[in-house]
Amino acid sequence: MITLTHYLVLSAILFSIALVGILRRKNLLMLFFATEIALNAINIAFAAISKYYGDLTGQMFAFFVIAIAASEVAVGLGLLIIWYKRRGTIDLDSLQTMHG
Amino acid sequence: MFEVVAFYLFAALTIVMFVITVMSKNALYAMSSLAAGMIFISAFFFLLDADFLGVVQIIVYSGAVMALYAFAMMFMDTTKEVKENNPPKKIVFFLSGMIALLLVIILLTPVISDKVKALYPMSDEIGNTEAVGIVLFTKYLVPFEVAAIMLLVAMIAGIILASKRMDESITLKIDQEIEEKGAE
Amino acid sequence: MENYVLIALFAPLAGSLFAGMYAMKPKRLITGIVTSALLFVSFLSSLVLLFHLLKTEEIVKVKLFDWITAGSLNIPFGLVADQVSVIMMVTVTLVSTLVHVYSIGYMEHDKGFNRFFSYLSAFVFSMLVLVMSDNFAGLFIGWEGVGLCSWLLIGFWYYKKDEPRDVNPSISPSWAANEAFIMNRIADLGMLIGLFIIYWHIGSLDYDVVFAHVNLLDIAIITMMGIFLFIGAMGKSAQFPLHTWLADAMEGPTPVSALIHAATMVTAGVYLVVRSFPIYSQIPDIGFYIAALGAFVAVFAASMALVNTDLKRIIAYSTLSQLGYMFVAAGLGAYWVALFHLMTHAFFKALLFLGAGNVMHAMNDELNIFKMGGLYKVMRWTAIFMIIASLALSGIYPFAGFFSKDKILEVAFDSQHYIMWFVLWIGAGMTAFYSFRLIMLVFFGEERYKKYGFHPHEAHWYMLAAMAPLALLAIVAGFFEEPFEEFVTQLLPEYHIHIHGILAVALIGLTTLIALSGIALAVYKYSHGGFSPKWRETFIYKLLYNQYYIPILYEKLFIEPYKELSKIAWKELDLRIVDATVDFIAAVIYKSGFAGRVVQSGNLSKMLRWMVIGLLILLVLVIVYSPVR
């Protein structure tokens, strides 16, 4: 039987995969991919909890997460394009203007 | 039975897809596997009786978001491989592993408690879509409207950020040319 | 009647503030005139109150406002004009007015002219607060106020540099001012403890309340009260061992010495003891010790005045000596006698100081009496005034000092403290001797000043006119003894002397005899060239001349160790411990901030890594603090 635990564990695994991606990627675009994975993992968790507790709140939340993710992608990619036009590269290390 | 098989199958597929996304060096492969992973996640939503959510996932994520990413990728030079000065693997995997473990531990223990009350309970007579519609437009109306405005803003921002020159208005310019031509 | 109380109190304050407006400006004659006029107004108000009290015996009380109300502590700012305070008011305002007028002439070439009058009037205001207050807290306020104004006035010429002790025993005006203030502060600690004891056991600081309830207390507590209050009085009235500041206070301008160190501030201690007579009546043993100390100081100071060569110092030691007499009277329970001597002493001592001021002015601020001589020909009036004052001081009939000083000797004899009487008797002789030694060396004899190139001249007419009322009072004030006694004993306890007839006459005769013989010795010796210089080599001369080496003793015993202690506290404690701690805290914050820069490197992937580490820590915390455990 598939219980809530299974879904939550799956969500945790997917989330840590996303974390690996965030930590590893130096290409800004790939970084965005990893962020998307994280958001999706969360959505699975919300939906699972929503089903197993009989509450629609989880689905609502997942809904709004999707909406937000969409708008985030739009704005983020716009910015990315501008950055690429200025610098000619999307390497993450080139983003650094502070010297620490 | 059916559910168990479906769950494990899709879980395995999703994980594999996302690992490819995270580990691959080729941007195109990464993007493709991301799109595939999104589709498989929507399968989970269907398994969880969240029909409306699953459909929205396919349309919005696999459709719109991935299209956006595709356009962005086309804009940049993908043949050039970004030199990845990666941090030591041990640190990365250790961090992520620890977080995964901790999350699992956290999630396992309170799950046993049954103290959560259902605010908006699901009923079996109405279909999921109708139920979502009822809740969305009554209880969650304000967030809905705000999200709509936010999407509008994001769209406008995306257009402005990415376009070439916004100081010249194309429609007005055409009117001017027509007038000039008419004046001649 | 209340209005007169308020006018008497606040007129000097108004004068002080008026003069204060011109403080940093060059000399304006108007400041001197206005302040003197306002003080004269205050004097007239005090006189009105005096006559009112004489006629109606009704004590005037004024409550200005509630000053401190905290819990059960209620101290209003109240004023009272009863017999004791009105006598003090009249004395203070009269002498102050005359000193103000005198100062217009004395300070005429000083560039701090306006500042001087501001300080002087502020001093009179504080003194009036002290004597007019109707509770111990107001008295303490006035006490501190006169201490402050005395510091300001002694150190009036603050810019004069420090000199070594053998050149100038007071080192410098700033040093002398600090010494006066610090010694007074030490005594004030005692006074505060006394006030605390009073409040703790009685619950109020009002005179009426305290004196009504003091006889209900345990005798040990009353003894403590009396001792500590007297310690406060010791500082202000310069009793041994807190006496060194009075001689050094002569660094200030002469009118200051006349007002503060003759007539007013130093008598505040006597006033305190007289005012607290209900306390001291309960503890006659302490009274005896006070009287014994007073007698000791009387002779101690007189002995130092015998050999001194500094004009003002001799008069300062004389003041010290007379204060001892006053404390003898107060200690033995004859409070009205002490008050009477206070009043007459104010008159002739102020006169002496003002005369000395004239001499100094004429001799270009020279103080060594061995450089003067034969000034009678040039400064006739000054000489006459000073002779009158010295006769009063020595206690010759019919001058004022005879009545008051003689009374004190009678009191000592009457309470069967014969040794005390003898000591005071010797003191009277010494007083007469040194007073006339001063007169002879300054005004008569060989004209030594010509050798040093001085050109003395008589003082301005108005300065002499200011001294004239004092001279008059020095002559006639003694005859007011009986009305005075009747008036003041409406409040103070009576003291009946049981010596009558032959014994009384004999005592008076003995006293007059020693005074006259002191005068005769001085006149004879100094008109025939004085004592031989061989005396200067003797041990006793050196002992007396250097003030029994007490200032040097204080310096070695207290000042230098304290300085070392302060240095240690500064270098070791303050710099090493306190500063180091504060700097350490700052350094820790700075270094941790510096170390924290790593988190904000600007490199996104590094910062993401830090974010994940933070997330890890939060998750650990969730597990550690989760409620399910």
Task: Give the pTM.
Answer: 0.69
Is A57 contained in some domain? yes
Q: How confident is the model at residue B25 (pLDDT cuts 50, 70, 90)?
A: confident
Domain that holds residue A86: 4-93
A-B contacts (CB, under 8 Å): 221
A25 in contact with chain C, both atoms CB, cutoff 8 A = yes
Nearest-Cα distance to chain A for B180, in Å, is: 36
Cβ-Cβ contacts under 8 Å, C598 against chain A: 100
What pLDDT was estimated at residue A62?
92
Q: How confident is the model at residue B88 (pLDDT cuts 50, 70, 90)?
A: low
Residues 6+ apart with CB under 8 A from A20: A34, B22, B92, B93, B96
Q: Which residues of B touch C (CB under 8 A)?
A: 87, 91, 95-96, 98-99, 102-103, 105-106, 109-110, 113
Q: CA-CA distance, C350 to C99, in Å (whole number)?
A: 8
Nearest beta carbon to residue A37 from set B21, B45, B132: B21
Domain residue spans in chain B?
140-184
Helices (H), A1-100: 4-24, 28-53, 57-87
Digitized pLDDT (tens) for each residue of chain A, 100 residues in all: 788 888 888 998 999 899 888 888 878 888 899 999 999 999 999 999 888 887 788 888 999 999 999 999 989 988 888 888 888 777 777 777 766 5
DSSP classification of residue B81: P
Helix (H, G, I), strand (E, B) or coil at C249: helix
Is A99 contained in some domain? no
Q: Shortest CA distance to C344 belongs to which of C51, C103, C87?
A: C87
Structure tokens at B106: 């956290």
The rounded percent of chain C whose pLDDT value lies above 70 is 99
pLDDT at B110 over 80: no
Would you give the end-to-end CA distance of chain B in angstroms? 80
Range with lowest mean pLDDT among B107-116, C12-21, C271-280: B107-116
pLDDT at C380 over 80: yes
Helices (H), C22-112: 29-56, 83-106
What pLDDT was estimated at residue B45?
92
The count of structural domains within chain A is 1
Q: A34: nearest CA in chain B?
A: B22
Mean pLDDT of C434-460: 82
Q: What CATH number has the domain bearing residue A35?
A: 1.10.287.3510
Q: CA-CA distance, C263 to C265, in Å (whole number)?
A: 7
What pLDDT was estimated at residue B120?
61
Q: What is the ipTM of this complex?
A: 0.88
Range with lowest mean pLDDT among A47-56, C46-55, C264-273, C488-497: C488-497
CB C264 within 8 A of CB C92: yes
State the burial class of residue C67 (Cβ atoms within 10 Å of its Cβ: 0-12, 13-18, 19+): middle
Q: Which residues of C touch B (CB under 8 A)?
A: 605, 609, 612-613, 615-616, 619-620, 622-623, 626, 628
Helix (H, G, I), strand (E, B) or coil at C64: strand
Q: CA-CA distance, A60 to A80, in Å (whole number)?
A: 30
Is A52 contained in some domain? yes
Is A47 contained in some domain? yes
Cβ-Cβ contacts under 8 Å, A95 against chain C: 602-604
Give the tens place of pLDDT for each residue, C389-431.
998 888 888 888 888 888 888 888 888 888 888 888 899 999 9
Judged by CB atoms closer than 8 Å, whether chains meet at A77 and B158 is answered as yes
Q: Region of C602 please: left (phi>0), alpha (psi -120 to 50) or beta.
A: left
C600 in contact with chain A, both atoms CB, cutoff 8 A = yes
CB C430 within 8 A of CB C345: no
Structure tokens at C168: 């100038």
Where would I find the beta strands (DSSP E) of C322-427?
none
Is A30 contained in some domain? yes
CB B42 within 8 A of CB B10: no
Helix (H, G, I), strand (E, B) or coil at B80: coil
Nearest-Cα distance to chain C for A51, in Å, is: 23
What pLDDT was estimated at residue C573?
79
CB C112 within 8 A of CB C156: yes
Q: CA-CA distance, C192 to C473, in Å (whole number)?
A: 36
